[in-house]
Amino acid sequence: MIQTVGSDAPTYHPTPMARFGLNPHQQPMWRIVFADSVKRLIGGHWPDGNEEYRLARVYTGPGAKGKWVLESWISAFEHTGCTAEEYPIKFQANGCVTTIQNEPYPYDGTYVERHIFAGEPTGVEELIAKWIRERDIGWAERRRMRQEVIDYTAQKTQESERYRLRDAQPDPNGLMMLGKQKSGLRPAKDFNLPGPGFRQVQGA
């Protein structure tokens, strides 16, 4: 059951956004909306005892209240990380006996926050271009960058282990072996040897 509370149509800024591309449903890939007007269906067990979907505001924090928000469209799979068949199991709302998810599966995709403007929206082109550059790094590049960190860590660990093993090996000049031999000798005082003047007395 879906209970409609107010309107789910957000308030759009007059800045034309279709020039930044359209999604598969022929809607703008980017939009600028007034934070207080953005609502989304949320499912759960409500204080009045009902288990259902209700419209709720998306931006509830003080950082977005009364401000314009730049959003971009993403697909349902990108948003949820799963298929429509997997979704009911993965996102079953807490405390619900009926099949109610945290949100209905967004078959048409959804819009997500990219930037909150402090005042009137400015620098929109630059913000979108920056996001596209970062996105275009791509999965393979991000994986390569992560692998570089892993390889560097492994190299440093290998070097440390190599130094440790080298220090544990006998010295090429026999110094370590000599140290081992010396460590096995008893101190001279244990043998009751004559003092330093003995030879001089014998030769006198």
Query: How confident is the model over 44-93, as pLDDT tens digits?
Result: 989 999 999 999 999 998 999 999 999 999 999 999 999 999 999 899 99
**Residue (of 59, 64, 72) closest to 131 by Cα position:** 72
Beta strand pairing call for 30-34 and 68-74 = antiparallel
Indicate whether 145 pLDDT > 70: no
Indicate whether 164 pLDDT > 80: no
pLDDT tens figures, 83-119:
999 999 899 998 888 889 999 999 999 999 999 999 9
pLDDT tens figures, 194-203:
554 434 444 4
- Give me the DSSP letters along 132-147: HHHHTTHHHHHHHHHH
All residues at 6 or more sequence positions from 40 whose CB lies less than 8 Å from its CB, including other chains: 8, 55, 56, 58, 103, 110
All residues at 6 or more sequence positions from 74 whose CB lies less than 8 Å from its CB, including other chains: 109, 110, 111, 112
Q: What backbone torsions phi and psi does residue 68 show, to the nearest 5 degrees?
A: -90, 140
Q: What backbone torsions phi and psi does residue 71 show, to the nearest 5 degrees?
A: -125, 155
| Confidence grade of residue 157 (pLDDT, cut at 50, 70, 90) | confident
Q: Which helix (H) or strand (E) holds 51?
A: strand 51-57
Three-class SS state of 104: coil
